[in-house]
Structure 1
Amino acid sequence: MTELAVFDMAGTTIEEHGAVYAALRHSVEHHGVPVDAEDLQTWMGTDKREAMHALIRLGGGSPTPELVEESYEVFSARLRALYAETPPTPLPGVAAALATLRSGGVRVALTTGFSDDVAEPLLASLGWSSEPGGNLDAVVTSDAVPRGRPAPYMIHRAMERTGVLDVRKVLVAGDTAVDLLAGTNAGAGEVIGVLTGGVPREVLGKEPHTRILASVAEVPEVVLAGVA
């Protein structure tokens, strides 16, 4: 029986219209460093400072701590502007899926490569919260762990915050390769790729997983049918 479902945010539970991709590319190219599309896809879903460090290096730049921090500030400002222009929304069927899981006794956590200063306003804009009476049981940002995905630490921190002891009873779902790698590294009993983030099935299919679904909206059927 699945006790905890851990979902990524942007592209998995939240439709943010590609703003993270655009802001991340902008934050690196702002300094005159080119960003290859394949490299950008590879580093999506990771801690954003780690992604900037890698993308600057891959583009031929020198990722000094100062440059990475400046890039993060550019990223945050650009992302806020894009979200103001086109506000994020829950992906179709996701809010109902989260409610169905919780009503069925499954705890729900969100994890993200965003830091608190980006994640908290985003969730607040949707009315989502892990506070008492909220629609979530835990939210784990990159600030809470020493390493982001593909490290398993955010998933394990979500287990800690929700009181789940057996990682085999944890389901992890996300829309990027590093989401699947993090779930696998954590030892999760179910590792699901979802296609709502724009990463093709054939790309996700190359990573370790237990199944690929069209959307998180399909997860309750998997879990509550006793399959997971």
Structure 2
Amino acid sequence: MIELAALDMAGTTIDDYGMVYTALQQAVEETGAPVASASLQLWMGADKVSAITALMELGGQEPAPDRVAAAFGRFRTILDDGYRAKPPVALPGVPEAIATLRERGIKVALTTGFDDGVARPLLDMLGWSVGPGAECTVDALVTTSDVAAGRPAPYMIHRAMERTGVVSVAAVLAAGDTAVDVQAGRNAGAVSVGVLTGKLTRELLAGLPCDHVLDSVADIPGLAETQR
């Protein structure tokens, strides 16, 4: 039986109108490294310092620590400006799905390739709260600030288990919209779910190591009922 749903943020539970893609691509290209669409998609969902480092290398630029740090600073500035211009919103049906899961006794955690400095203000924009009790939107938030390595490492999912008191990976459902999201779910030993609210098609997601492909997080309560 599912006891915890660990859900990605941008593109999975939150519609940020593609601003993460835009900010990451622009920040890397400002270093002189061209960013191919396939390479960008490959690194979406990963922690952004690792993504910038890899994309700079792929684009023929030396990812010296100071250059990566500067590019990460630009990423955060571009993202912040974009979010202020067009604030993110919850994807359709997601708040209701989260509420349904929690009403059934299933804990809900958000995991993200953002650090605390990006993730927490984003939740504030949405008016979402984190913590135990029915008055909160979700039970836990885990960011790249909390772990030694981001996706596709399983550590954020395991930290979400720790924070919600879930001890069996077989009782965890992990959902996301990118390749590294579903790989992290598989690496964690969870039921790995790909959702179609991001940039990947059903065919691409079906070719990745995920157990299920759903249209949206809004469909997870129905899937969770079958995982017994």
Class of the TM-score when normalised by the shorter of the 2 chains: over 0.9
Q: Distance in 2 between matches of 1:213 and 1:131?
A: 27
2:204 maps to 1:203: yes
SS at match of 1:193: strand
Q: Spell out the pairing of 1:87-126 with structure 2 (5 A cutoff).
A: 87-126=87-126
Moved more, 201-210 or 172-181: 201-210
Q: Distance in 1 between matches of 2:121 and 2:109?
A: 17
Q: Distance in 2 between matches of 1:161 and 1:90?
A: 23
> What is residue 160 of structure 2 aligned with on the other side?
158
Q: Spell out the pairing of 1:49-64 with structure 2 (5 A cutoff).
A: 49-64=49-64
The Cα of 1:226 is off from its aligned counterpart by 3.3
> What is residue 147 of structure 2 aligned with on the other side?
145
Output the aligned Cα RMSD: 0.9
2:62 maps to 1:71: no
> What is residue 185 of structure 2 aligned with on the other side?
183
> What is residue 16 of structure 1 aligned with on the other side?
16
TM-score by length of 2: 0.97
The Cα of 1:99 is off from its aligned counterpart by 0.2
Q: How many residues align?
A: 226
Amino acid at match of 2:173: L
Q: Distance in 2 between matches of 1:120 and 1:44?
A: 19
Amino acid at match of 1:222: L
Unaligned runs of 5+ in 1: none
After TM superposition, what 4+ stretches of structure 1 lie above 4 angstroms from structure 2? none
Q: Distance in 1 between matches of 2:227 and 2:161?
A: 21
Amino acid at match of 1:220: P
> What is residue 36 of structure 1 aligned with on the other side?
36
Q: Distance in 2 between matches of 1:222 and 1:187?
A: 17
Amino acid at match of 1:143: S
SS at match of 1:5: strand
Amino acid at match of 1:61: Q
Unaligned runs of 5+ in 2: none
The Cα of 1:227 is off from its aligned counterpart by 3.3
TM-score by length of 1: 0.97
Contact 2:129/2:137, CA 8 A, preserved across alignment: yes
The Cα of 1:222 is off from its aligned counterpart by 1.3
> What is residue 194 of structure 1 aligned with on the other side?
195
Q: Percent identity at matched positions?
A: 54
> What is residue 47 of structure 2 aligned with on the other side?
47
Q: Distance in 2 between matches of 1:185 and 1:138?
A: 20
